[in-house]
Structure 1
Amino acid sequence: MKYPPDTGDGMEFPRFTFNPKEGIDNPALVISDDPETDPSPAPRLCHIKCKEGQSFGFRLRTEKGIRGHVVQQVDPWSPAELSGLREGDHVLEVNEDFVDNMEFSRVVTKIQVCGVQVFLLVLKKQEYEEALSQGLDLQALTSSYRGETCSRPRLCHITRDPGLGLGISISPIEGQKGGYVLSTVRDGPAERAGVRDGDRLVWINGAVVSTLTFSALNKMVKKCSAHVTILVIDSESEASYTRRKLPILPIMAGSHNLPHRPNTLHLVQDSDGYGFLLRQEKMPSGRVAHLLREVDVGSPAEQAGMQDGDLLLAVNGQPSESMEHEEIVRRVRKSGKSVSLTTIPVNGRQFYTQLGLSPLLFHEDHRSEAEGIKRTLLPCTDVQNEPTKDNHGSLPCPRLCVLEREESSFGFHLGCVQHKLGTFIGQVETKGSGHKAGLWEGDVVVEVNGQNVENFHFEDVVMLIKKSESLLKLLVVERSGYEKLKQSGLPIIPGVILHSNQSQ
């Protein structure tokens, strides 16, 4: 090793030389083989934010007979490109909701209705194709990415009880500024609406609570006369969001007990048309809306359940609130002899406007249950007789879900509408017994262990379920399908049997 002459400031700068026979004379430098890279696919999250009226700057496409939804035409300098989204990426999740095996039109709608920001979990084209060739479970891959114990936040609508109030108390979390934890009254209004003891409060009536002092938050709750809508999340899931540096937003939530749900009407023309008028009218808020008027008696519109004055949200699944009147008329005419219209009462639209959300954000475009079972890849299905049609058209398929108790629960929570008979599935725990058995959030509970509970109070249904020691049988049907079956006058009997344990 050679050294340069003394510079006079007491510092020396060694120079390393190389001899082909002896190698590099730097003992600190060690040449080793490249470390082995992890061959498993690595999903990445793209958080796309745009301004009001601006597009995200990408297109999505699908090919017939080929699985997946592929990103194409990412505009230069667009919000999509700045988020890291690239052409050829395959979209696995939209706002924490797995969509790889979902219908293309539903995926597009999910992106369109989420406002000015969207979260896409994607895989590079090569990684996606390799994952499929290796037979990897993509849904398990996305679950592993965010953590096995991470559940989506819940948007819960609570109706005040005259005796119990809202059924919750709020406490600040020590050492966490702007953090609040909830305590619930057992079987009280909040618990029925999907809130669990120990949940973290994120958002209340459209306001983020982390910016509120405890006194300001208490004042806000006291001002809520009959109802309150809150966004909550359990502590483990909150830790997952924090680890991934993600905000907890309503667009990522599952909805519980929300009022004013949109309704999709399926109309078939007769010789006089559909039997309604579409009008553009100015609302009290100043915004212009498309309202359904002059519904003819006995017309296809009335038979489908259309109400005079309802507001139009979508045509054939395509959001229509921002469309011009002429464009909506053109789409309805182009649809031919039948059309699907998604509607909501005006007061329902006002409810979502106050929350700063689109009503379509939590609207499920209901398909037949058999199709849903294939889509969600449930572990075990025992398909029996197809549902009877008997001149009533295609009816939903009720499901008999057989749940095996895991640890201390069946993996779901009940919900109900305050002061009304009947119950529904308020929340389904990811990978719990209810999830494995095919329960869906919003399902109406028809029978518990063979006993009809349609006219039972919430507390009575809870007691029946608690009597089940290791096995629970629930006959359920999705919400809009339940109404259709009741209108048909046919008995609600199982069309599909689903087990939480494949060995059943």
Structure 2
Amino acid sequence: MEFGTKKFTFNPKEGIDNPLMVITEESTPRPHLCVLKKEKGETYGFHLRVEWVKQGHIIRNVVSGGVAGRCGLEDGDRLLEVNNVYVVDASHQEVARRIKQSGQHLCLLVLDGEAFDKAVAKKQDLRDLVKAYKSENLKPPRLCHITRDPILGLGINFTPIGAEKGCFAVNLVQGGAAEKAGVRKGDRLVWMNGAVVSDLTHSALSRMMKKCCKYITILVIDSESEKKYTQLRMPILPTMAVPQNLPYRSRKIDLDLAPEGYGFHLCFEKAPSGRTAHVLRNVDTGSPAERAGVRDGDVLLEVNGESVELLDHDEIVRRVRENDQHVSLTTIIPQGHEFYTQLGLSPLLFCEDDAVKMESCERICATQHCRQNDSVCSSKSRLCFLQKGPLGFGFNLGCMPQCPGTFISEVAPGSPGKNAGLTMGDIVIEVNGQNVEDKSLEDVIMLIKEGGPCLSLLVKDKEDYDNLRKTDLLDISNNEGEETEVSRL
């Protein structure tokens, strides 16, 4: 039998019906994931730039053989996501800040420069490229802080999954402390108190649990999302997490300069733990610092959005003073600074988001037909900062039998509580950033005692609180030595 090659004659009238005519659509640009892990003292080995002639956040000066270079990052790549957060529309400062906060582990989703420019020229939605890469939206992990219940304990234990080391399913006590802290049935454990559990045996994990006295902080994710992260070879990091019930958060403070200055001293101090930090001290009564909510002992984290961790005292003072009329500070109470340090996380990761609070207030105001700047609206809730005096904070707490909610039952004249604006009958919403609406009086008292000499209370007038509870409008976001240098600012 003779075999021959069948020939086709091209006929332009036949167009795509001609079997030899192959028309291919231009392929969709595909992002690629770069997972960077550096050792202590090492840099990631690239620069992040914004250039006038090009759009996007551009990767430049990738060090050959460095962390970024080994992980596939190339000069000209454009950032789409940092730690699972879309950043194309974010400012350069915000993107750089997210990268710096990542610690030793960083996850970048990038698109090569040529593909990025073509997509922008075609007005293609870059979010669609991200969604196509992931197939569908990934649910973020949750960072949950669990405080031990006197009766039910932590309300959680872990079961190994199969024979593979480091895979643990979460078991919950219904209504227990873990469930209240945001842990869900079927979750997988990723991280506990700063330690990744992937290399731990069940016995090692059990020993860690036994060492936990009053609380633990864990990173969890639902089982389906864990599978998707694994398929994409994407790490599950605390920097990607949604915070749940965290006891401390950093906060941003804006100060306008007065003739006598900002009204505080900047001190470089050594904490009892041996760690050094720049601390705000001697806040003047009636000063811009006091009016903005600066508390004696606050640890300084940022000046005008720039981290001060690696700056010396004189350089920080210069940055505070370089703007003649205004400065923005990011601070956290000493206990919070110690909390994040022990977890190996940046205290800047989870900040009290003023924008979220503003949106919350606007939603409440829209429903009640009032303007954001009305005095009625601004008086809905109050954040009060107290520094313990010789006789304590100067207030008592009370609760109604069989009713949720703790209230201020008494405020001593001239006490820190009175000076901070507490009034008898105020309902306590948060203690040091932790929501306590459903906690018992004993739990609230314990949280206050554990907070040390500095205390932050979010309170609300009882009548307003009752009205908002009735209409389900309440929307409060659960969202702390040796002095070597001092400067008055």
| TM-score normalised by L of structure 2 | 0.69
Instruction: Select the residue among 281, 295, 298 that pairs with 1:307.
Output: 295
Pair 1:268-2:256 in alignment: yes
CA drift of 1:46 comes to 1.5
SS in 2 for 1:136: coil
* Superposed counterparts of 1:442-457, under 5 Å: none
Pair 1:297-2:285 in alignment: yes
Letter in 2 for 1:285: S
SS in 2 for 1:162: coil
Residue 421 of structure 1 is matched in structure 2 by 437
Pair 1:40-2:28 in alignment: yes
CA drift of 1:125 comes to 2.1
* Superposed counterparts of 1:83-482, under 5 Å: 83-148=71-136, 150-363=138-351, 366-367=354-355, 387-388=372-373, 420-421=436-437, 476=475
Count of residue correspondences: 387
Q: How far apart, CA to CA, are the structure 1 residues paired with 2:357 and 2:190?
A: 33
Using the TM superposition, name which of 115-124 and 73-82 deviates more. Answer: 73-82
Q: How far apart, CA to CA, are the structure 2 residues paired with 1:64 and 1:108?
A: 18
Q: How far apart, CA to CA, are the structure 2 residues paired with 1:392 and 1:267?
A: 23
**Do 2:165 and 2:200's aligned partners in 1 also have CA atoms closer than 8 Å?**
no
Q: How far apart, CA to CA, are the structure 2 residues paired with 1:479 and 1:175?
A: 38
**Do 2:301 and 2:307's aligned partners in 1 also have CA atoms closer than 8 Å?**
yes
Q: Deviations over 1:318-347 (max 9, x none)?
A: 111111111111111112211111111112
Q: How far apart, CA to CA, are the structure 1 residues paired with 2:376 and 2:258?
A: 18
CA drift of 1:74 comes to 2.7
**Do 1:90 and 1:128's aligned partners in 2 also have CA atoms closer than 8 Å?**
yes
Residue 409 of structure 2 is matched in structure 1 by none
Q: How far apart, CA to CA, are the structure 1 residues paired with 2:206 and 2:125?
A: 45
SS in 2 for 1:284: coil
SS in 1 for 2:314: helix
**Do 1:147 and 1:240's aligned partners in 2 also have CA atoms closer than 8 Å?**
no
CA drift of 1:82 comes to 2.5
Letter in 1 for 2:265: L
Q: How far apart, CA to CA, are the structure 1 residues paired with 2:196 and 2:355?
A: 35
SS in 1 for 2:475: strand
CA drift of 1:169 comes to 2.8
CA change 1:366–1:420 in 2 (3 A) is closer
CA drift of 1:290 comes to 0.7
SS in 2 for 1:81: helix
Using the TM superposition, name which of 34-43 and 102-111 deviates more. Answer: 34-43
Q: How far apart, CA to CA, are the structure 2 residues paired with 1:361 and 1:307?
A: 21
SS in 1 for 2:119: helix
Unaligned runs of 5+ in 1: 1-31, 373-380, 397-414, 424-443, 465-472, 481-504
Residue 402 of structure 1 is matched in structure 2 by none
CA drift of 1:153 comes to 1.4
Q: How far apart, CA to CA, are the structure 2 residues paired with 1:263 and 1:204?
A: 25
CA change 1:348–1:421 in 2 (3 A) is same
SS in 2 for 1:358: coil
**Do 2:371 and 2:377's aligned partners in 1 also have CA atoms closer than 8 Å?**
no
Q: How far apart, CA to CA, are the structure 2 residues paired with 1:477 and 1:339?
A: 27
**Do 2:245 and 2:478's aligned partners in 1 also have CA atoms closer than 8 Å?**
no
Residue 70 of structure 1 is matched in structure 2 by 58
| TM-score normalised by L of structure 1 | 0.67
CA drift of 1:389 comes to 5.9
Q: Deviations over 1:256-302 (max 9, x none)?
A: 11111111111111010001111111223333211111111111111
* Superposed counterparts of 1:54-65, under 5 Å: 54-62=42-50
Letter in 1 for 2:475: V
Q: How far apart, CA to CA, are the structure 2 residues paired with 1:453 and 1:47?
A: 49
CA change 1:303–1:227 in 2 (3 A) is same
Residue 5 of structure 2 is matched in structure 1 by none
**Do 1:149 and 1:237's aligned partners in 2 also have CA atoms closer than 8 Å?**
no
Unaligned runs of 5+ in 2: 1-19, 361-365, 382-428, 440-457, 480-489
Letter in 2 for 1:476: D
Give aligned-pair identity as a percent.
46
Q: Deviations over 1:131-169 (max 9, x none)?
A: 234443323432332341521211110111223222223
SS in 2 for 1:237: helix
SS in 1 for 2:348: helix
Using the TM superposition, name which of 250-259 and 144-153 deviates more. Answer: 144-153
Q: How far apart, CA to CA, are the structure 2 residues paired with 1:62 and 1:419?
A: 40
Q: Deviations over 1:424-482 (max 9, x none)?
A: xxxxxxxxxxxxxxxxxxxx9x9xxxx966886xxxx9xx9xxxxxxxx75636568xx
SS in 1 for 2:349: helix
Letter in 2 for 1:234: D
CA drift of 1:99 comes to 1.2
CA drift of 1:87 comes to 2.5
Letter in 1 for 2:244: H
